[in-house]
Every structure is written in structure tokens, then in C-alpha cells.
Amino acid sequence: MDNPNERGWTPKKRLEGKVALVIGAGQSAGEGLGNGRATALRFAREGARVAAANRHIESVAETVDMIKAEGGEAFALRTDVTVEQDIVDAVKATMDKWGRIDILHYNVGVSLGLGDTNVIEITETAFDNIYKTNLRGAAFACKHVLPIMREQRSGAIVNVSSATAVGLSPFVAYKASKAAMNAMTEQLALQNAPYNIRVNAIMPGLIDTPMAVQTRVEKLSVPREQLLAERAAKVPLGRRGTAWDVADLALFLASEEASFITGECILVDGGRILNRT
């Protein structure tokens, strides 16, 4: 048995020997760190080989460079989740390189950037594009990874949903697509449990990411510092979350530490859901 007091002993990395396909491993422009990039880094630091996919190849290449600079293994894939063939190609490239996929992490979500608004004002184009990115992309990623995991008789899927799915929001397409993702997560967990595949979702709250903050600064014309202060004031813990808060939960759900957890949609929101006013 490992002895933590023995000279030279180090704990086993939680994802040692695992292959993770992280879809949305780049990030939007702006200050700070995105959830997808943080999770890709966290997985690599815990021993996973990371296939890092993103629509913008330059952004995901930066993530890969960061992983390699720390001694990890990763490669970049240009993947537009609204195009099924791109997802097929990403899965195939991962299998060609490493021969298995143990973890699928889907961290793609759009809202204001594609014109989300209330149901009275939203356009057909905006609604369809948000749905295709947030929900259909996740479904098709699962569609093409699940047969591999079923053959392996093991795997963990971690979808990134949103606290908006169960809380208040003025943005109809984002809320609807994330609520649907929660329902899909539960369905897939039940259907794939016999294959020893676990499917869970993370519901981030007010997290300081470029996608969440910079987009609102630009689209809503709110000063950055004012926006950050308003977001922090809504959180009972008194601070905004970071991408590492999301990445830490993603790591737990992807690891064997969560081997008896499936079909769960878990909030990471500092208690925000308890204060909906």
C-alpha cells in the first residue's frame, strides 16, 4: 500500500493513462481564463492526454502550448460543433492518435454573442444558431463518442450546462438549450449505465470568464468594473467564481473518485441559486 510518509512517495495522478477529448478547449477574447482552457490544463496536470478541440484553431493551439510547456501531452483540433463532420473528424483524430477516449468534456456555449435576448425579440437565426451550438453539438459529440466508450465498457462524459438552466434568465435560447442539456444528461446517464459510462453536467454560475464578462461589457455597454461588482454582489459567498472552480469539479466528475455518480447536474455558483432576487 502506498505510504504518504515514505521518502519519494507522490500521489497517483487522478487521470493517469486516460485520454480526454475536450471540446471547447480554447476561449473567447478578453481578460481572464475560460472554463474550457482551465479544464484542459487541469486534466493534463492530472495525467490525461488531451485532444483539445475548438472552432478557433489559434485559441486552442495556445491551450496546447500551455499544456506542453508543463510537460503534458496534447494536440489541437479545429472543430466547429455546428458541423457534424467536424465532430466525427475530431473523434477519429483522437482515436487514430491514442486508440481510446476515456473522457468527453463538452464546454461550448453561446448566448449574447449570437444575439440571444427575450422570446419576444429573438430572431429565428439567433435561436437556431444558439441551439445548434449549445445542445445539438453536445448531442452529436455524445453520439460519436458513446459507441467507443460502450466498446471499452467505460467512460465519463462531463457536459457544461449553466445555472441559468434552473435559475432566472432574460435570455431565452441559452436558458432553453442548457435546460435541455440537463435533460439529455440524465437520459444518457440512464441509457449508458449498463456500459459503465457515467454522464454528468456542471452548472456554472457567475464565473469570471472572457465569454461571460467581455461579451456583456461589449453587448450591454456596461463598464467592466461595474459589471464585476454587480455580479459579485449577487453571490452569497461574496465573490465571483473562476474557471478553476469549474475545472476542479470537471476533474472530480471525470475521475474514479466520482465512480458512483451519474446523471447529476451540479451547481458551481457560490450559493447564487439561493438568492434569486
Active-site positions read: 174
Distance from first CA to last CA of the chain, Å, rounded?
A: 52
DSSP strands (E only) in 59-215: 74-78, 103-106, 155-160, 197-204
Does residue 149 contact residue 142 with C-beta atoms inside 8 Å? no
Write the secondary structure of 84-104 as one string of H (helix), E (strand) and C (coil).
HHHHHHHHHHHHHHHCCCCEE
Does residue 116 contact residue 170 with C-beta atoms inside 8 Å? no
**Cα→Cα distances 203→5, 38, 183, 206, 266, Å:** 38, 16, 13, 10, 6
Does residue 160 contact residue 206 with C-beta atoms inside 8 Å? no
Closest CA to 56 of 108, 14, 98: 108
The whole-angstrom separation of Cα 256 and Cα 16 is: 11
Torsion sign across C-alpha atoms 199, 28, 101, 2? negative
The whole-angstrom separation of Cα 277 and Cα 264 is: 25
**Cα→Cα distances 81→95, 143, 184, Å:** 18, 12, 17
